Structure 1
């Protein structure tokens, strides 16, 4: 069933994004007076095809759904002579400004879609974990900043130059703001409420490293959602948890004296204490008691290391907040979120080129399908947000100055606009081949990363 969900979600996501992208090209081409011959969703053999009586455009759904195209009248691509009355409507005869507008319209349509989708999520409201910090691991940035666990972060500001203060409304909000600061190498100050009052926590987040491709950067900084209740949902027969007397329904309050309010930090602590006895403070039937358990040692195939395991299923209930905005504010936030993700994508791509970031950050269709399925199972808001994220990625990718992509064609036309001369056919052919090699190489790396994540080699 999960596999079927992933396939359906993937097809829906790719279908929507391709149609929107190509409709951008199509609509602006029509507005510029260019004759459109075909609008195809997918490549290869047509499965369904019909011709519009009103526009004369052939609409096609093809066998391979990983893309699409809009075919316009163009003297360079036509195998037959073009009627004289249609020549003014050929793409190649349009002024350079119109050609730029037509080519740029596809990526722009993807950005507009992302803005609309994000705005819809913000306006519709979504339940998110509160920005309450769980007890951080020692030597992490959060621990060095002074966080002990249980603090509720309410705002963030730049540490230098008296920066503007930004309110923090949820964990997702906190994540995006820290991510933005990490890319600009900014030092920040987080203001958080505790039982004693509101205090400032100066934080140096550094930058995103290669390891973050495999691990959530917030985890590496020591930030995990806290303030919740961790309950034993089940106990495996013969496990260390059963031998210690743990029971389903027990609420975990502390481990070796450290407060427990987050599954991630609890599991990490247990993993690091294989064959070492730990003391759990639990609440059972309204009364607190202690239980000593010695985690079994198991080999973790994904990391290649021996880790501790107690054999208990956990249920983590985190405090949440309903985040909802008005129409105007939702649209503004949609624009800001789209801009932030676009800049993040460009910066990450630039760092991959310079070697500052790992090529492991590239993802292909397998990973997209996986996340499409996971987001669809989480609900409509999660799937819509995922769709917006992929739409931005598609827009950014197509604007890269690589021949065969929209960005490559835009580069040709910008050169023509500056020099007054079109790039020669010979140079276009050479660059086209080089661009194709780049795209094939990127696709192979992305596919390799997909397989590596899938089978963990």
Structure 2
């Protein structure tokens, strides 16, 4: 169940991502030679009438589209490229102007975000959009809100200057910020009152035993409310949810970088596989929601300016557009090799983290002892 669920999450998302590259490349007249889901030895595939080899690799942890003329990681012109006949060279990736190359590369992450918007629209259409007002129904005794002076009936309108519309916004904002001072603006009896709170840090455990360190305010909401939205508002709500998810990722990444959040909380493919199986057991809405968040993660991570990722390519194309000429191939090759080493190190680290969260090292220690 876990393996199948993982493949149902990661396979389609990789396909969607690479399909973005493929279609925009075709739009600009670039020939795709290989469209691969997974890396390594081919376990199955076919060649279409355009000469593109569609295949599946044995290691389902990524994918790629190999465009004609894409002969090195930096996609820089080579002697081999220069020796191609003019009509063939016109079909290659390097022959296109920098703005077209930029859009071809950006299309992958953008497609992941578009998928997320569509998926959120489907979910909100199925269950309704949460509209529970950001009104305090109850205050937990001796909790952060109680100590700061919150009262039942207070409507939270801002947190650190950011607007709060519904109670779900308040929950999302607080959960990401354990042991953090937050300046709230609340409405009480027709007056606007500023309240400063230092959140508590709470380790929350779900039904599967997974633990997460979250911020706690110590307030409760009224009865949950959901609203069926018309199509235009449905699209806007889905876009807002996607933006909010990206914002949460940026906050979390910043906390890891600054040391506010432990790197041990970072997960990799094994953790994604575990969560895939768990969410699948909860029903299609939970599974699609999880898949949507992973799609946003995939788009966000690929936009980071790290050589070898899409964001690294986009950075080099931006530099090329500003300088009116590309960086030297040697500099790009060095950057991509460094990026590869960094990504491999990160993959090893998060895999070790995953194994530690499963208790593998503790069990091995017990066997050795």
TM-score, structure 2 as length reference: 0.81
For residue 75 of structure 2, what is the aligned residue in structure 1?
Answer: none
In 2, the alpha carbon distance for the partners of 1:409 and 1:89 equals 20
1:326-359 deviations in Å (ceiling 9; x for gaps): 2222211111111121122123223323334322
User: Which of the numbers 347, 351, 363 marks the counterpart of 2:251?
Assistant: 347
Greater percentage in helix: 2
Contact 2:40/2:58, CA 8 A, preserved across alignment: yes
1:406-450 deviations in Å (ceiling 9; x for gaps): 111111111100011211111112111211121122212211221
For residue 244 of structure 1, what is the aligned residue in structure 2?
Answer: none
User: Which of the numbers 70, 73, 83 marks the counterpart of 2:65?
Assistant: 70
1:188 and 2:191 equivalent? no
Q: Following TM superposition, by how much is the alpha carbon of 1:394 offset from its aligned partner in structure 2, in angstroms? A: 0.7
In 1, the alpha carbon distance for the partners of 2:256 and 2:177 equals 19
Instruction: Give me the CA root mean square deviation.
Output: 3.6
Unmatched tracts of structure 2, length 5 or more: 73-77, 205-209, 363-369
For residue 217 of structure 1, what is the aligned residue in structure 2?
Answer: 214
Structure with the greater alpha carbon radius of gyration: 1
User: Which of the numbers 142, 146, 168 marks the counterpart of 1:143?
Assistant: 146
1:447 and 2:351 equivalent? yes
For residue 230 of structure 1, what is the aligned residue in structure 2?
Answer: none
User: Which of the numbers 16, 22, 27 marks the counterpart of 1:26?
Assistant: 22
TM-score, structure 1 as length reference: 0.66
1:125 and 2:121 equivalent? no
For residue 158 of structure 2, what is the aligned residue in structure 1?
Answer: 158
Of residues 343-352 and 202-211 in structure 1, the stretch that sits farther from structure 2 once superposed is: 202-211
Q: Are the structure 2 counterparts of residues 331 and 206 from structure 1 closer, same or farther at C-alpha, using a change threshold of 3 Å?
A: farther
In 2, the alpha carbon distance for the partners of 1:452 and 1:188 equals 38
Q: Following TM superposition, by how much is the alpha carbon of 1:183 offset from its aligned partner in structure 2, in angstroms? A: 12
1:377 and 2:305 equivalent? no
For residue 422 of structure 1, what is the aligned residue in structure 2?
Answer: 326
Q: Following TM superposition, by how much is the alpha carbon of 1:87 offset from its aligned partner in structure 2, in angstroms? A: 0.6
Write the mapping of 1:388-399 to structure 2, written as runs, cut at 5 A. 388-399=292-303
In 2, the alpha carbon distance for the partners of 1:160 and 1:370 equals 35
Unmatched tracts of structure 1, length 5 or more: 228-318
In 2, the alpha carbon distance for the partners of 1:93 and 1:198 equals 64
Q: Are the structure 2 counterparts of residues 119 and 22 from structure 1 closer, same or farther at C-alpha, using a change threshold of 3 Å?
A: same
User: Which of the numbers 58, 65, 86 marks the counterpart of 2:88?
Assistant: 86
